[in-house]
Chain A
Amino acid sequence: MSTSTAGRFVGQSVKRREDPRLVTGHGRYVDDVVLPGMLHCTFVRSDVARGRIVRVDTEAAVALDGVTAVLTAADLNPHAGEMQPTLLLATPGAPLRPLADGDVRFVGEPIVLIIASSRYVAEDAADLVEVEIDTDPAVIDVEHALDEGVPIVHPELGTNLGAEMEFPIAPELEALLAGDNVVRRTFRQHRHTPVPMETRGVVVEYEPSVGELHAWMSTQNPHEAKQAMARVTGVPAHLVRVEGHDVGGGFGQKFFTPREELTVTLAARRLGRTLKWIEDRRENLIASNHARADVAECTFALDADGRLLGTYIDHIEDAGAFPVGATGGAGALVGLLFTGPYKCALASLRTRAVWTNTCGRGAYRGPWMFETVAREQMVDAAARQIGMDPLEWRRRNVIPTAELPYTLPTGLPLDMVSPSETLEQAAEIIGYDAFRAEQRRVFTEEGRLLGIGLGLYVEPSTGMMDPMGTETAVVRVNPNGQVTVALGTGAHGQGIETTMAQVVAEELGIEYDDVTIVQGDSAVTAYGRGTGGSGTAVIAGNSCRNACAVVRAKAIEIAAHVMEAAPDDLEIVDARIAVRGTPTRSVAWSEVARIAHLETARLPEGMEVGLEATATFKAPPFSWSNACHACTVEIDRATGVVSILRYVVSEDCGVMINPMIVEGQVAGGVVQGIGGTLYEHFVYDDDGNPLTTTFMDYLLPTATEVPTIEYGHVETPSPTPGGHKGMGEGGAIGSPPAIFNAVADALALVGAIIDRTPLTPDTILDAIETQA
């Protein structure tokens, strides 16, 4: 079992195998799939947040040339099976339905599905559908959604409280929280949305005489999509096949199978036709799952030296009307992880997911990340309140490596992490002390506002619940020795075809170019967890290792037999199985593979023909990774514009498989955090009308806004065989509070205070003017 941190392939920045097809335009995304007889879909959606559907007139649309069908709730809903996109997260959830039936519950809710010969005709038909809705008052403000007399989003449920978790407050904590030495703040994080560059989409083929349902879908999770499609259509799961191929980003939005994909699948099953639905950008912005949208009142109780004694967080997440996956994002984890990398004996929490007449919440890169946002912003607020530098506060409170394992006050066991080391490394790289001196100088001499901010976190990745922690790999050696590996993952930019080939080549001692990864297809891979939740390196990587161990042992046994050597004396080096210390006594890997398949008389007595293995890996509940983000900003006092001067990430994801890809993941997450903190804001008016429905209004960061990101690496191997840890989400977890804290630090020079995002120029100017 290899745990060396820089092997022949593991630990190397191998260039990605995916790239040649993608840089030449030869990827195959869902909209590139064209099938004979394929028809095109579009939805007519509600333009009202809450109301009763009085009339839906489809006559003119039906009459249009090229229109095959115009389906309403009456046509589809009675035939729908279970609409829950996943049974993984057993929360009661919203009353899901394919098409709005009787009422509408957010702007963008699908009411009519149009099927036509082309997208152009389908959209013409959509314009001809008349929908009359009697508007009712909508529930938009999550902070008042539980008030007396507020309308109920889902009348079937009778309450706007979707989920709640509360820990009792121990008397010692209660006493602390009521004491004098407390810091209390309420932080608000605004609504934003994942925005993969490829919108969602699906092509579904169902031919009744065949009875098989075959879908091509932009998904992170082909196996869960397959199960969901089987449940909603009644087609047996073994007759459903879902292929992903190239997927243009997901960030959580494509982890579960949303309503539109299931509705189109149901329609294909009912009509026996091949249907394509490609979401447009407006639909993606208004009706694909939203994220963030949290508010929490936080309390820290400190001792006289600023040490953290106890915490309380009262958190509300806006679940929207129809969340995708769970009831909310991950409120439970927000509460459980609130104390993060700091020593703290006592903690309690309440977290609630609340329904509103807005687009449903869903997974987005670190769905629970508000624990880090709220905590890290609290840390700086607490440090400022007691007159201590935020770096010093963190040094004083961070869990020292020597005190690991450490049990968080909520009971979670933390181990194999390095928050203290990453804190110091980030402070060192960014030159914290020198910046402080410069900050004071330019403020005193020139009145300029510079700030520095830190974001320190620990991230629980991998196997918290079934089957999120399990993956199965099939490692199949072909008769010529080249290897095909099948994985149930759903890559969407992570380079899994590259990294998993690195792992397998390393483990088998063969060439990287002789390993191919097949994934993203439910028919040719074993059931798998999909790609998300920072899981692939640990879970898929170790399932590959486990399968390789079986294959390698068998190959060595064959080699020992043909060479008349003891298996224990053999090793695999550069695709040859050789007697250790006597490399001249060897047999080629390819020869062993040939014997296993084609010259079976030479196999040891009773050995099964062939050379392949299927193996699973069940991850431990937690494979913690950690990082510290540090950034410096300047605020233009005249315009309120924030410029990021430097951005540093010191991270510990254990053993890196491919450092180039690790840094790429970090950078992508950081820039999503920059966008989310400074620019991206999904806005509803008071009536629930979305106001940011194009890229002219919903502002993504471009190359002109982002800094050059600097990296530091600390390597604390995880206890799993490869020593890897999950890291795909972390960039988006640490960056929002680091930026917020840097801005808050700069504003503190003039006594201005911020408590919410986004940090738009108006927000900054308001804060400065309020203080003045």
Chain B
Amino acid sequence: MLPVEMTVNGERRRGAVDARRTLADYLREECALTGTHLGCEHGVCGACTVLLDGEAVRACLMFAVQADGAAVTTIEGLGGPDGALSPVQDAFREEHGLQCGFCTPGFVVSVTALLQENPKPSETEIREALSGNLCRCTGYQGIIGAVKRAADAR
């Protein structure tokens, strides 16, 4: 077991974890933040995307110990404390950017990171930025619409 300390959604977490424990499993099981989903566990589908010091990363490809000292934001940390949706979350709802919702946390986190870096992306930039996240339900139509809406709302 190795000591690990990080800030998760603004809360400081300290503990000891197995060296091989992934960040995704740590967040889901030790922090009970089950919004970070595991769709492939090999870094392709993007469902487990979280922000690590503001950068979108795949929590299935990192060990928890690698996040030692970092600030992690999960899907649960993006909205308001009273259940208010973030602009990106709200745009996903408005544009029907989700159906089963399993891939959605990863998309919302990825889009949040995208818009922080590039507040007015072109459609091509949107599609390229989304290409690391897989959705099987929506055909991406509503997701692309949601990114445009969220960008316009900024």
**Sorted from nearest, which 10 A-B pairs have the closest CB atoms?**
A25-B35, A248-B102, A22-B101, A671-B139, A493-B100, A25-B75, A493-B99, A667-B139, A695-B44, A703-B130
A20 to B79, CA, bound (A): 10
A26 to B83, CA, bound (A): 10
A664 to nearest B CB, angstroms? Answer: 5
Chain B, 100-149, CB within 8 A of any chain A CB: 100-105, 108, 126-128, 130-144
Residues A197 and B100 in contact, CB atoms below 8 Å apart: yes
A669 to B124, CA, bound (A): 23
Residues A195 and B79 in contact, CB atoms below 8 Å apart: no
Q: Is B53 positioned at the interface, with any CB of A under 8 Å from its CB?
A: no
Q: Is A755 positioned at the interface, with any CB of B under 8 Å from its CB?
A: no
Residues B40 and A695 in contact, CB atoms below 8 Å apart: yes
Chain A, 183-226, CB within 8 A of any chain B CB: 195-199
Q: Is A166 positioned at the interface, with any CB of B under 8 Å from its CB?
A: no
Residues B100 and A703 in contact, CB atoms below 8 Å apart: no
Contacts A18-B101, A495-B99 given; indicate if A29 touches B37 (C-beta within 8 A).
yes
In the bound complex, residues from chain A placing their C-beta under 8 Å from that of B42 are 281, 694-696
By beta carbon, the residue of chain A nearest B126 is A703
A671 to B141, CA, bound (A): 10
Task: Say whether chain A's binding surface is mostly helix, strand, loop, or mixed.
Answer: loop
In the bound complex, residues from chain A placing their C-beta under 8 Å from that of B143 are 703
Among B36, B102, B132, B139, residue most surrounded by chain A Cβ atoms (within 10 Å): B139
Known: A24-B89, A25-B35. 19 other contacts (CB 8 A): A22-B104, A23-B85, A23-B89, A25-B75, A27-B101, A197-B37, A197-B103, A198-B39, A248-B100, A667-B139, A668-B138, A670-B139, A694-B40, A695-B42, A700-B136, A702-B132, A703-B131, A704-B131, A731-B139
Q: Is B34 positioned at the interface, with any CB of A under 8 Å from its CB?
A: yes
By beta carbon, the residue of chain A nearest B106 is A197
Q: Is A251 positioned at the interface, with any CB of B under 8 Å from its CB?
A: yes
In the bound complex, residues from chain B placing their C-beta under 8 Å from that of A24 are 35, 75-76, 78-79, 83, 85, 89
A721 to B30, CA, bound (A): 51
> Could you name 13 residue pairs across A and B whose Cβ atoms are closer than 8 Å?
A20-B85, A23-B92, A25-B33, A25-B74, A31-B37, A32-B34, A34-B29, A195-B136, A246-B101, A668-B137, A669-B139, A695-B40, A696-B42
In the bound complex, residues from chain A placing their C-beta under 8 Å from that of B99 are 249, 493-495, 664-665, 668
Residues A15 and B93 in contact, CB atoms below 8 Å apart: yes
A631 to nearest B CB, angstroms? Answer: 13
By beta carbon, the residue of chain A nearest B100 is A493
Interface string of A637-679 (1 = CB under 8 A from B): 0000000000000000000000011011101111110000000
Residues B34 and A19 in contact, CB atoms below 8 Å apart: no
In the bound complex, residues from chain B placing their C-beta under 8 Å from that of A492 are 100
Chain A, 32-63, CB within 8 A of any chain B CB: 32, 34
A722 to nearest B CB, angstroms? Answer: 21
Residues A249 and B134 in contact, CB atoms below 8 Å apart: no
In the bound complex, residues from chain A placing their C-beta under 8 Å from that of B104 are 22-23
A524 to B36, CA, bound (A): 29
Residues B76 and A25 in contact, CB atoms below 8 Å apart: yes
By beta carbon, the residue of chain A nearest B98 is A22
Number of interface residues of A (CB under 8 A): 56
A32 to B40, CA, bound (A): 16
- The listed residue (A23, A248, A495) touching B37 by CB distance below 8 A is A248
Residues A15 and B137 in contact, CB atoms below 8 Å apart: no
- The listed residue (B40, B89, B92, B134) touching A702 by CB distance below 8 A is B134
Chain A, 726-772, CB within 8 A of any chain B CB: 731
In the bound complex, residues from chain A placing their C-beta under 8 Å from that of B29 are 34
Residues B136 and A197 in contact, CB atoms below 8 Å apart: yes
Interface string of A701-723 (1 = CB under 8 A from B): 01110101100000000000000
- The listed residue (A15, A195, A695, A703) touching B144 by CB distance below 8 A is A703
Residues B108 and A197 in contact, CB atoms below 8 Å apart: no
A663 to B139, CA, bound (A): 10
Chain B, 34-79, CB within 8 A of any chain A CB: 34-42, 44-45, 47, 74-76, 78-79
Q: Is A280 positioned at the interface, with any CB of B under 8 Å from its CB?
A: yes
B interface with A by C-beta (< 8 Å): 18, 20-21, 28-29, 32-42, 44-45, 47, 74-76, 78-79, 83, 85, 89-90, 92-94, 96, 98-105, 108, 126-128, 130-144
Residues B128 and A19 in contact, CB atoms below 8 Å apart: no
A495 to B100, CA, bound (A): 8
In the bound complex, residues from chain B placing their C-beta under 8 Å from that of A195 are 136
A694 to B45, CA, bound (A): 10
By beta carbon, the residue of chain B nearest A281 is B40
A584 to B28, CA, bound (A): 56
- The listed residue (A22, A23, A248, A667) touching B138 by CB distance below 8 A is A667
Residues A671 and B140 in contact, CB atoms below 8 Å apart: yes
A664 to B140, CA, bound (A): 9
Q: Is A16 positioned at the interface, with any CB of B under 8 Å from its CB?
A: yes
- The listed residue (A196, A251, A661, A706) touching B139 by CB distance below 8 A is A706
In the bound complex, residues from chain A placing their C-beta under 8 Å from that of B33 are 25
Q: Is A247 positioned at the interface, with any CB of B under 8 Å from its CB?
A: yes
- The listed residue (A15, A34, A120, A247) touching B20 by CB distance below 8 A is A120
In the bound complex, residues from chain A placing their C-beta under 8 Å from that of B140 are 667, 671, 702-703, 706
- The listed residue (B76, B127, B136) touching A196 by CB distance below 8 A is B136
- The listed residue (A249, A280, A664, A704) touching B141 by CB distance below 8 A is A664
Residues B44 and A704 in contact, CB atoms below 8 Å apart: no
In the bound complex, residues from chain B placing their C-beta under 8 Å from that of A703 are 126-127, 130-131, 133, 140, 143-144
A20 to B92, CA, bound (A): 10
In the bound complex, residues from chain A placing their C-beta under 8 Å from that of B18 are 120
Among B74, B93, B132, residue most surrounded by chain A Cβ atoms (within 10 Å): B93
Residues B102 and A704 in contact, CB atoms below 8 Å apart: no
Among B35, B83, B136, residue most surrounded by chain A Cβ atoms (within 10 Å): B136
In the bound complex, residues from chain A placing their C-beta under 8 Å from that of B41 are 280-281
Chain A, 303-328, CB within 8 A of any chain B CB: none
By beta carbon, the residue of chain A nearest B103 is A197
In the bound complex, residues from chain A placing their C-beta under 8 Å from that of B79 are 23-24
- The listed residue (A31, A196, A700, A709) touching B38 by CB distance below 8 A is A31
A72 to B103, CA, bound (A): 35
In the bound complex, residues from chain B placing their C-beta under 8 Å from that of A671 are 138-140
In the bound complex, residues from chain A placing their C-beta under 8 Å from that of B37 are 29, 31, 197-198, 248
In the bound complex, residues from chain B placing their C-beta under 8 Å from that of A702 are 130-134, 140
A22 to B138, CA, bound (A): 14
In the bound complex, residues from chain A placing their C-beta under 8 Å from that of B98 are 19, 22-23
In the bound complex, residues from chain A placing their C-beta under 8 Å from that of B94 are 15
In the bound complex, residues from chain A placing their C-beta under 8 Å from that of B92 are 19, 23
A196 to B95, CA, bound (A): 21
A519 to nearest B CB, angstroms? Answer: 14
Residues A664 and B138 in contact, CB atoms below 8 Å apart: yes
Contacts A20-B85, A695-B40 given; indicate if A664 touches B101 (C-beta within 8 A).
no
A703 to B41, CA, bound (A): 20
In the bound complex, residues from chain B placing their C-beta under 8 Å from that of A281 are 39-42, 45
A495 to B35, CA, bound (A): 19
In the bound complex, residues from chain B placing their C-beta under 8 Å from that of A700 are 134, 136
In the bound complex, residues from chain A placing their C-beta under 8 Å from that of B138 are 664, 667-668, 671
By beta carbon, the residue of chain A nearest B91 is A23
